[in-house]
Chain A
Amino acid sequence: MRAAFSWSLAGLLLFGGAALACGNEVYLSKKTQEAAVAKAEAQLAAGDAASAVRGLMRAAHYPPMARRFEFAFSRRPLRLRAWRVAAIAVVRTPGHQPFDHGLPDAAPVQPPRQLTWARGVLARELAARPDDPVVVALDAEARGAAGTDALEDLARRDLMPDAWAWRALAAGRAHRGDAAGRDAALTRCRAVATPGVTCDDAPTLL
């Protein structure tokens, strides 16, 4: 117990005070928790949610020490990014259950609860940044059919942040029976897709 506490304290001291940044690369260059989160973000963007989750859990030593993201990612902006990655991973994982050992804040492990947790994380972020298209699109993607109107609004204003948002909009339009709209969204999805984003067909919404 004492050893675990000591390691936790050491982790806080090591990772709590990061380099001052005049360029973003400074954080990316550090072989610390920042690098772990950045890598998880890249994996998630490439469609590899499972690796993103595994990487975050390794960085957080979670499990077996059961340290949660609050301890591992002690700097708040970094913690929010880690949470966001975890939440999106839940949304984009078939079955919505990438965390086999409990969520970063120790919520129950069942898929419906994981999706509820992910939606809660993204909704809190949306409340903090309601005008950020990235956050709006992620929240909309997490909400499934209920988020389609928000994505339509972004598309109308030419503010769709990435291919994932177009894919989610295609799913929403398909859910409404708008086949032409779905195909148009998938065309835009393909145009801006990065490797790992599947734009061949829209996922089915519940």
Chain B
Amino acid sequence: MTSNDNILAVEDLGVHFGSGDGLVKAVDEVSFTVRRGETVALVGESGSGKSISALSLTKLAPRAARYAGGRILFEGRDMLALSDAELRRIRGSRISYIFQEPMASLNPVFTIQWQIEEAIRLHQRGVDRKREVARLLGLVHLPERLARAYPHEMSGGQLQRCMIAMALACSPDLLVADEPTTALDVTVQREILNLLAELGRNVGLSILMITHNFGIVADLADRVYVMQKGRIVEEGETRQVLYDPRAEYTRQLMAAVPRLHPRTEEEQ
């Protein structure tokens, strides 16, 4: 495996908040990689720095954050060194995001149609946006008529599908999913996870899946990184980490989280 296979390589990334006594190293010398077509899970308890790591990939971390060293190589280019305009061209077209709260993540006063179209318009010229929106909604198994709906008229599961459709609008290379199912009902969670798995297989998308749920890891991920207090404490193939965790923290984490169905089967 050469490093050219890596679509994303994060090297010794540090992201800090505050200073002096109040210094918080939200991300502390973190390194991880994502290969083309691969699904990588970033696991850790709440507050361990997963979201900040994920947002930092395109410099989306909150304004208070300071990037304190390290590199983020996306297709060989260091994201931390790019200009604002260059970053904007990558956001939403090469690297897309979906977030935890689909209801809050969509703009309440615009229709789904408008919001997906905006993503297309920003990065592509000369496409029939209406047809494109219809195609994307088809991709996430939503009826076309929902395009005219406002976010508040839809369920959480539908909204997360819309988010996914919007994220896929410009056929990105990397999809960053920050706890995409945490806010959803259990049955809906399963549907969304299946959809992501399907997209990973069919579209050849690389996915960075952020979660605190090992059930999801078992289901989707090829490789896992475990994060604790801003540091990576364990990494490896999913099976290996699940069956033979090296770090005590990983064991605790696995014992603490609720399990989804498939994992119990695997265990038997």
The judgment on whether A and B are partners is: no
Q: Which residue numbers of B lie inside 8 Å of A, CB to CB?
A: none
